[in-house]
Structure 1
């Protein structure tokens, strides 16, 4: 489980042992060098291989001089201001990106795909709806089927219920009452942004536009809540998921190397971001 550790001087960080990473979300530059030394000691103690910083753009060069490398940015993450993500790898093998050319080709293909401006029409046998706590067991079973491992305990129905109490909104597609596709919007209300995540479709139902329809619905829900900035982290090896998110108008913003433990191993994650305000004005 991940835990967020608040400490003085408006500093907060998240220790995520399952994904073997520490994320520094808020910092004070007057204390940051001592803080980073503390985080690296904590990482060594817990055998964590990656320390990440969500930095203000003007601080990027400062952190680069301290040995961090820029991996990308989440546009609009901090109430409309970008979060530049920099990382220091504490294990050499953790910094290795495999099949970089193939992953770059997937991004290029996704960026060239025709956009999907409207919600795709689904076959009449399928129903798109908002999920509630009564769906937690079905959701957990779907995620168990699709993902051998996942960055959060999404295989646990109780965890899903807790998420629903903490500004995580699920939309699903059902076939005769059975959930066959799902995704969520995880709202960071403090920052006025949300992550499109937990995207999964039963293998027998892929290629039917379900996730695209779900993401369209989640975008509408975020508009209604007044959340203008969205982002998504997609598996860099997944052609389908990168295509789906790019066709919904998300823009590629970089790649996080060996960032998330998913499908049984650490995987590179592509950053995609979307500004709903700009999208509405087009």
Structure 2
């Protein structure tokens, strides 16, 4: 079951039982006072165990007063005028416990040594391009193959079509077998930033650095379109994805612990960011 995405005033939030959390995706200062109370009310009603909020640094203290703690930061997120902070509130002791802390730290330290490593060239007949409506069935199939579950309905062709027509740009790598690797850029034109997300590579095509090729192409396209801050929220135990962003010169911004339900379990997520 996919999470619910709803508006509250001028803000946008996502919540659901699989991740057992609320994610304040877009915050509007006009909603602040009533929104903070609503998040608590919704969490209590649904027995959620975590609330995570993405908001401007200038509103950090208001959330801190409500029991939130900063877990990550993305500099110059709002049109380069203000940083973004990721604030989290844990509602049970179990949700707050950090698992595999030493392993998480080792991955971060290891991948940071790979900054600037370029990918090898794509094999001659392979092609990378932006996806269109005609590619949606193959796109949905890749997501269904790679992920057991996901916090957004990326298995649904209608959802993919709607987001493709709205604010998400999808790119893919094609071989003689068809579409074998995909990624997307979820753009925020109002704040000139974009999330590099939804990376998926078929298992038989791993080892060709396709995620890095996709990331670099997305980055080039975003730069041409005037975006200034790129970021990702990557699975913290995925050495490959964290390495991909480190190789592309992204900076580590912090970890959202026990944050996101992917492929059947709740995982901690690392923030990586880059100004372009």
TM-score by length of 1: 0.89
The match for 1:82 is 83
Q: How does 1:197-276 map to 2 (within 5 A)?
A: 197-276=197-276
In structure 1, C-alpha distance between the alignment counterparts of 2:116 and 2:14, rounded to whole Å: 37
Residues 58-97 of structure 1 mapped to structure 2, 5 A cutoff: 58-80=58-80, 81-97=82-98
Equivalent residue number for residue 46 of structure 1: 46
Q: What SS class does the counterpart of residue 150 from structure 1 fall into? A: coil
Partners of 1:186 and 1:108 in 2: CA distance:
28
Report SS of the residue matched to 1:237: coil
Match of 1:6 among 5, 8, 11: 8
SS of the counterpart of 2:211? helix
* Corresponding residue of 2:27: 26
CA contact (8 A) 1:49 1:90 kept: yes
2:153/2:159 contact within 8 Å kept: yes
Q: Relative to structure 1, is the Cα distance of residues 215 and 92 closer, same or farther in structure 2, using a 3 angstrom cutoff? A: same
Structure 2 gap segments, 5+ residues each:
none
Q: Which residue of 2 aligns with 1:16?
A: 15
- Residue 5 of structure 1 contacts residue 13 of structure 1 at CA under 8 Å; is this kept in 2? yes
> Distance between the aligned counterparts of 1:190 and 1:19, measured in 2?
28
For residues 179 and 76 of structure 2, the distance between their equivalents in structure 1, rounded to whole angstroms, comes to 32
Q: Secondary structure at the match of 1:169?
A: strand
Q: How many residues align structurally? A: 271
- CA RMSD across the alignment: 1.9
- Please give the secondary structure, in 2, of the residue aligned with 1:72: strand
Q: What is the TM-score of this pair, normalised by structure 2? A: 0.91
Please tell me whether the aligned partners of residues 120 and 212 of structure 1 are also in contact (alpha carbons under 8 angstroms).
Answer: no
SS at 1:226 equivalent: coil
Residue 114 of structure 1: CA displacement?
Answer: 4.2
**In structure 2, distance between residues paired with 1:131 and 1:234:** 22
Tell me, which stretches of 5 or more residues in structure 1 are unaligned? Answer: 277-282
2-structure distance, mates of 1:35, 1:186: 24
Structure 1 residue 27: Cα displacement: 4.5
Match runs of 1:136-147 below 5 Å: 136-147=136-147
Deviation at 1:242, TM superposition (A): 0.4
Q: In 1, distance between residues paired with 2:158 and 2:32?
A: 37
Distance 1:144 1:260, change over 3 A: same
Shift of 1:116: 3.3
Three-state SS of the structure 1 residue aligned to 2:48 is coil
* 1:103 and 2:104 correspond: yes
Distance 2:170 2:66 in 1: 40
Counterparts of 1:26 and 1:260, CA distance in 2: 19
Query: Are the counterparts in 2 of residues 186 and 194 from structure 1 also a CA contact under 8 Å?
Result: yes
Q: 1:4 to 1:188 in 2, by over 3 A?
A: farther
Checking the alignment, whether the CA contact within 8 Å between 1:54 and 1:85 is kept in structure 2 is: yes
Report Cα offsets for 1:224-272 as digits up to 9, x if no partner. Answer: 2111110001100000110011100110000111211101111111000
